[in-house]
Chain A
Amino acid sequence: MIFRAVEDADLITRVRKGDVEAFNHLVSRWEKRVFNYLLRLTGSPDDSLDLSQDAFLKAFQNIRKLDDNARFGPWLFRIAHNEAYSHFRKKRPDTDPEDAERMEREPARTVAPELTLAVTAALDRLSPEQREAVVLKVYQGFKFEEMAEILAIPVSTIKSRLYTALDLLKVELAPTNSRGIQ
């Protein structure tokens, strides 16, 4: 992770000098994480790809505004978060059921279907804010401080959302755990 940050910082320095290939390299290092973060928020692969592209484009356009090169990750995810919520505000009235179905089907190809369905169903029962806290912490591995930076809220609020979500998930996933792991 430290080496990754050092390499990112070097690439960002080159991007600031106008090196587009350095930015493409940076994109290739982050695109899967950003895509999966957006996929777990939106549930739509197509929307997630579009939003990822928009987020990276904004990152490229505003790279000079990044104060600390070592904070590129949270800064990029802040942009992606804003893109996702801007998208939700525009699209809220009509959600695409086909995308939701596809989202539920696709993970089942690699792991036991009942487990993935249980986890997906449990995540779906969370509020969007709780789900995002879980995604950033459990799936993306961000620290509380970084999450606070991404979501622009205090660490105490982050913890409250995450731990409430985990209490709910614990109840939902306990039977699944006992069946799946034993």
Chain B
Amino acid sequence: MTCNTDLLRDYAFDELPAADRPALQRHISECAGCAAELDQLRLTTAALRILPDQEPPQRIAFVSDKVFAPSRFWNLAPWFGFASAAVMAATLIFTVTHRPVEIRTLVQTASAQPIDDIVKKAVAETRAQTRAEDAQLFNARLEASEAKHDKEHRYLVEALAVMQQSLNTNVLMASSATSQTGAGQ
């Protein structure tokens, strides 16, 4: 057997067919060059394997579909939808068929009376009520204002009295001091 680098490499990676191995192994034991080449190849792969595998920083996991699977209750959801729609439709039909009769009755009743009189009466009543309320409010405000002014007036009078008294006291003290000074001289 002659030297064959490719066969040697296949052998090093355990990829050589079993039938070819004995012949190559015999050749390696006899050929120093191929033996050295094989050693160098094995040293190179051993050096590469120095780099260790790393742990993934985070585990990968998938959530079970059962979590998102719709329950029986939610399977009935469309039927609840239909039921609520049917109730709303029935209510709407009932309203449409019954309410206009009442409206018509009211309109007919109202139209039988003279509208102007009713409106005038309502306006007059409202106006009178408003005037009464305004007068009441005005009187209340007036009373409150007068009371406030009276109070302020009282305070002013009291303040003036205090000031007058104070002034009188000062005058008296000044005159007494003057007389004492005159008597001393």
Contact = CB atoms under 8 A, between A and B. Distances in A.
A20 B63 contact: yes
Contacts of B43: 173-174, 177, 181
Given A170-B41, A181-B43, A45 B54 contact: yes
Contacts of A35: 54, 56
B40 interface: yes
Contacts of B63: 20
Interface string A88-130: 0000000000000000001100111001101110010000000
Question: Interface SS of chain A: helix, strand, loop or mixed?
Answer: helix
Interface in A119-172: 119-120, 123, 134, 137-139, 143-144, 159, 163, 166, 169-170
A143 B15 contact: yes
A144 B60 contact: no
Given A56-B60, A169-B48, A20 B53 contact: no
Contact of B47 (A21, A115, A159): A115
A181 to B, nearest CB: 7
A72 interface: no
B17 to A, nearest CB: 12
A70 interface: no
A45 B57 contact: yes
B47 A180 contact: yes
B18 interface: no
A57 interface: yes
Interface in B44-71: 44-66
A139 to B, nearest CB: 7
Nearest to A23: B62
B47 A173 contact: yes
Interface in A34-90: 35-36, 39, 45-46, 48-49, 52-53, 56-57, 60
B28 to A, nearest CB: 17
A119 B50 contact: yes
Nearest to A53: B60
A32 interface: yes
Given A20-B62, A60-B62, A31 B48 contact: no
Interface of A: 18, 20-21, 23-24, 27-28, 31-33, 35-36, 39, 45-46, 48-49, 52-53, 56-57, 60, 106-107, 110-112, 115-116, 118-120, 123, 134, 137-139, 143-144, 159, 163, 166, 169-170, 173-174, 176-177, 180-181
5 contacts: A36-B53, A49-B60, A119-B48, A177-B47, A180-B47
